Amino acid sequence: MSAPRAAATAPARTLGSVAIVVTVLLLSVWGAVGLWSDLGLPLTIVGPLWVSIALASWALYGAVLLLIVRRPLSRAHIIPLGLLLALAWGGLAATDIAGRANSAAKTIAINVSTSGDGSWTNWLVAPAMEESIKTAGILMLALLPVAVRFGPAAGLALGALVGVSFQVVENFIFTLQGIADAPDQPGNVLLSMFFIRGVVGFFSHLVYSGVIGAALGWAIYAGPNHRARRWGVVLGAWLLMVMLHSWSNWTVQAQQTVGFLATMLVGLVVIVVVMRWSRSNGMEQATPADETDQTSGTPPRS
C-alpha cells in the first residue's frame, strides 16, 4: 500500500475502531442494565447471603477458567482494552441479548406448536442464537488493533474470554433463578447448579467461542485469497460448535449421565487440539514490522 493511500485510510480506520469500541461498550452497559432489571425479583427472594455465596462461587470458578486460557492470552499479546471488551461483551452484552432472544424463540415455539412447552428450543434454537451473538462480538474485536496480529492464537484467546465471561454470568443467573424457585433449599440448588453447569459444563462456552475465534483468526490472517475456503472454515467451526452446544443442552435436559461425561470429554479434547494447533502455527509471534508485505501491501501468507 502506498504512503498517500495509507495516510488517507488511517482516519477512516481510526473512526471505525472508535465506533466499534463505543458499540461494544454501549451494548455492554445496556446488557448490564437489562440483566439487573431481570434479576430484581430473584435477588429479593434469594437475599444478600446466598447472592454473595453464589457470586463468590462463580467468581472463583471464572478464575479457574481464566487460568486455563492464560497461555493463549500471553502468546496473543492482547492489549488491556481488548481483554476488557471481550469480557464485557461475553458477560454483559451477549448474555443479555441471548437471554432475550431465547425467551422470544420459546414464546414463538409455544404459540405455533399444538403441544409442548417449547423446551426443545433450549437445545435446538438457543445454541445457534448464543453462538451467533458471541461470534458477532469476536468479529468486532477482530477488526480492532487489539493484538500484534489477529491470527488463530489471538482469535482463540479473545473467543475464550468471551466464552468464559458468558459462561460465568449465565451460570450465576441460573443459580439465582433456581434458588428463587426453591428458596427453602438454597444449598442444594447451588450444589446442583455447580455440578451440572460447572463440572459437567466446564468445557462449554470456553470451548465453543474459543474454537470459533481461532477459526476466525485463521481466516483473517490468511489474506485475501481463497475467500470461500477461509470463511467456509469459519462456518464449519460455527456449525460444529452449535452441534456440540446442542448436544450438551440436550444431555442436561434429558438427564443423560453418559451424555454428561461424553460432552465433558469431547469439550476437553477439542480445546486441547485447537490450543496446540494455534500454537503450532506460530502466527502470534509476528511483529508490527511484519504486519504487511512491503512490496504488495498484503498480509504475509503462512
* pLDDT score for 149: 75
* pLDDT score for 170: 95
* pLDDT score for 257: 67
171-to-49, 101, 108, 163, 216 alpha-carbon distances in Å: 18, 17, 25, 12, 26
Is residue 213 within 8 A of residue 156, CB to CB? The reply is: yes
* pLDDT score for 8: 47
C-alpha cell at 248: 450438551
pTM for the whole structure: 0.86
> Does 186 score more than 80 pLDDT?
yes
Is residue 85 within 8 A of residue 162, CB to CB? The reply is: no
How far apart are alpha carbons 24 and 21 in whole angstroms?
5
* pLDDT score for 205: 94
pLDDT digits (tens, 9 = 90+) for 205-253: 999 999 999 999 989 887 677 778 888 999 999 999 999 999 888 887 7
103-131 CB burial, b ≥16 within 10 A, e <16: eebbeebeeeeeeeebebbbbebbbbbbb
* pLDDT score for 112: 77
pLDDT digits (tens, 9 = 90+) for 116-152: 666 777 888 899 999 999 999 999 999 998 877 788 8
